[in-house]
A and B are shown apart, each in its own frame.
Chain A
C-alpha cells in the first residue's frame, strides 16, 4: 500500500493535473519551430550587420583617381600631369598610400570589357591612381578642385556612392530580420497563451476546487507557469539543436561573402563557421523560450483567475 515518496512528491507537484491538461508534445513542437525561426532571424541579422559594417568601412577606405593625358606637362613647370596629381594626392591629409596602376594592372582591369586586345588598343588611356585612405575625413570637393587645377580633367571616383547604397540595402535586410524576430516572439507568446487557456479550460473544476480551498492566485499561476516554462524550454532546446546544422549549411553557402572564411578542418572550423554572437543567441534560445513561457502563463492565468472572487 505504501507509495514511494518520490512518486508522492511528483503527484503533489501536479495538484492541478497539468501533465495531462498541458500535454508535452504540441507546445514544445510549436516552440521548437519558433526557436528555429528565431535562430534563422538572428543569423540573418548578425550576417547583414557584418556585411553592413564591411561595406561601410570599405566605403571610407579607397578611391580611384583618373588622370587623362598623364604624360603631358602640367601647369607647374617640369612635371607631368600625372606626377603633379600624384604629388598632390600624396601630400593630402588622410591619404595612406598612392599607387599608380601599371600597364599590366590596367590591362587586367580592362580585360573583362575589352578582352586580351586591351593592351594593343590605340586609344589614349588615362592613368589610374588607386588611393587608400587612412580614415581621416577628406573633403572630396576640395580635393577634386585641387586636382583639376594641377591636371585639368582629372576625375575622382569615390566608392562611397555604391557603398552607401549597399549599406542601405544591408540596413533594410537587418530591419527585416528584426521584424521577423519580433513576429516570432509575438507568435510564441500567442501560442503559449492559447495552450495555457486550453489548460485552464480543461482544469476549470480543479482550479475552482483549489481556489475554494484557499489557494492563492500566485500558487495556481505558478503551477501553470512552471509547466509551460518546462515545455517551452524543452521546445527551445530542440529548436536550438536543429538550428545548428541548419545554420552550418547556410554558412557554407554564405562563405564566399564572409570576410575571413577559415579553411581549417575539425571542430574548431565548425565552431568558427558561425559568428560567436550567433552561438550565444542559439544558447540563449531555451532560456528565452522558458522566460516567455513563464511570463505568458503567469499573466494569462492571473488574468483568468480574476473571474473568481
Chain B
C-alpha cells in the first residue's frame, strides 16, 4: 500500500552547491493495506511533509516511494492524477473551494472521477446528512463554522471511498466529543479496508485509540509502525 525506501525530501533547490536543507532524511517504512497508523512528532518534525509525499503534493528528492502499487519515481506525470483520486486527504486548514457550496465541494472528487449526476447527488446528500450538515447543503464555506467546514472537508476526503486516507491534525478545531465522532468515522473506514494515516498532536486522543505509530524527530524516523 505505502512503502518508503530511504526517502529524502528537500523543498526548493535540490542540487547544486547550495541545496535546500533536507526536511526528511532516509525515511524507510511500510504500511500494509488496511493499516491504521498515527503519525507523531514535535512541531516542525516533518509530519505534514511526510503526508504531502503520501498524497503526491511533493515528490521525493531521493529514495524510492511506492504508493498503491505504483513506483512514483517511474510513474509519468500523467499517471499521478488517477493515483491522487484514490487518496483522500483532510487538511488542517480544510482547503475548501470558497466559491462552491458544501454540496459542490463534497461532490468535486466524484465529478473528477466522472460519476453520474443522480448518483453524485444521492451519495453527497447522504454523506453530508451523516456528518450532520443535511440542512446546510448549499451553504458556502465562509458561512459555516470552523467545525462545520471541517466536517465538509472530511466528507470530501472520504466521499470517493479512497484506498488511502490521510489526515493532518484533523481534530485541531474540535471539542472532545467531535474528535471522538471523527475517530468513529475513521475507524469505520479502516474496518472496510481503507489504510488510514493520522498526524496528531493530541496525545490524549492517541492514547485512547492505540494503533501503529510512526514517530518523526527533526526529519528522521525514530519509531516504525
A residues in contact (CB < 8 Å) with B: 1, 3, 5, 8-9, 11-12, 15, 17, 20, 205-206, 209-217, 219, 309
Contacts and interface: CB of A to CB of B under 8 A. Distances in A.
Given A15-B97, A205-B95, A213 B109 contact: yes
B23 to A, nearest CB: 16
A210 B84 CA distance: 10
B100 A214 contact: no
Contacts of B138: 1, 3
Contacts of A216: 78, 81
A163 B58 CA distance: 69
Contacts of A213: 84-85, 108-109, 112, 156
B100 A212 contact: no
B99 A210 contact: no
Contacts of B87: 214
Interface in B111-125: 111-113, 117
Nearest to B162: A214
B55 A210 contact: no
A212 B104 contact: no
Contacts of B57: 212, 309
A166 B114 CA distance: 63
Contacts of B81: 214-216
A3 B103 CA distance: 11
B97 A214 contact: no
B80 interface: yes
A1 B137 contact: yes
A15 B111 contact: yes
A206 B97 CA distance: 6
A209 B97 contact: yes
Contacts of B85: 213-214
